[in-house]
Amino acid sequence: MAEVLIIGAGSWGTAVGVLAASAGNRVSLFARRPEFAAQLGEDRENKTFLPGVKLPDALEPTASLDDLERYDWCFCGVPTRFIREQFAPLGDRYPKSLPLVSLSKGIEQQTLQFPSQILHDCTKAEHLLTLSGPGHAEEVAVGRPASVVSAGDESRAQALAELVSTPTFRVYFSTDLKGVELCGAGKNVVAIAAGILDGLELGDSAKAALVARGLAEITRLGVAVGAEERTFSGLAGIGDLFVTCASRHGRNLAFGRRIGKGEKPEDIIESMEMVVEGYNTARGLRELARNAGVEMPICEEVCSVIYDGSDAREAVTRLMTRSLKAE
């Protein structure tokens, strides 16, 4: 039995807490607001972010980060743009040998860093990992089968897989931390584009082409920055991209669909309670690609629509009328 701390009581942080507890570990689920932590403990349910899922007895909500030394594992379930704000105050208090696992998917706009890099900046943790892939909190928390990937140094990635695997949650492991994190960031941007196509009612053929070409863009960038090409054809790559572009649970897909229906991006963001990671990631992904000299036309057009006010249908036309080339 391990002592597990999860910082961030959103949907995915809560779901991983449920999984870790179900796998036989003792879990502390940290919520930043004491009143929210108290409510979780009283209800034994996260009614705000994961309604309908009972919190196991082995999971205890908390609003304290005073005793970090007692934990064997720490997970970051904080959206990417809030990681630095949450973890920087821990600073020297964070035990350097305590493995730190990112559950976040995205790129910090100011630094172009991935979650594990931000976490290292803040804590100087010696062991950084990620847990990523096609797993929706709403499904895995109630025991629907899913498979994801843990990534980091091989021994700890394997240990992480063993920590949270259950009969319904299978975890493979990888040493390609960079590739897995890039997959997690890039797929959200492509999912926004997929949602836009849905909103415009352009059909399944268009969406299939978008997913295929979107994966090609992410893979090109990954290879250019030193990731392993095979990662992009696995669970973290095509697996996560598929579910994000197809699932009714996807916030990025829903965001794009509303754009396609004619709503303004800023109005949609204002109305959504949960974070749309792709909205905060697209600009950073575009800058990474430009810095690496990699063409990412889908990403460029998503940025033109969500940041610059371009017409969504015209963006599709620009993509379809680019110069012809070999696949």
Q: Enumerate the active-site residues.
A: 187
What distance in Å separates the CA atoms of residue 156 and residue 58, rounded to the nearest whole number? 23
With residue 175 as reference, give the H or E element that holds it: none
Tokens of 40: 């979780």
The arrangement of strands across the sheet holding 3-7 comes to 59-62, 26-30, 3-7, 73-76, 100-102, 128-132, 146-151, 169-174
Q: Cα angle vertex 269, ends 263, 271, to 5°?
A: 85
d(CA 138, CA 143): 9
The residues pairing with 173 across neighbouring beta strands, listed in sequence order, are 150
Q: How far is C-alpha 94 from the chain's CA centre?
A: 23
Task: Tell me whether residue 210 is exposed, middle or buried, using C-beta atoms within 10 angstroms of its C-beta: 0 to 12, 13 to 18, 19 or more.
Answer: buried
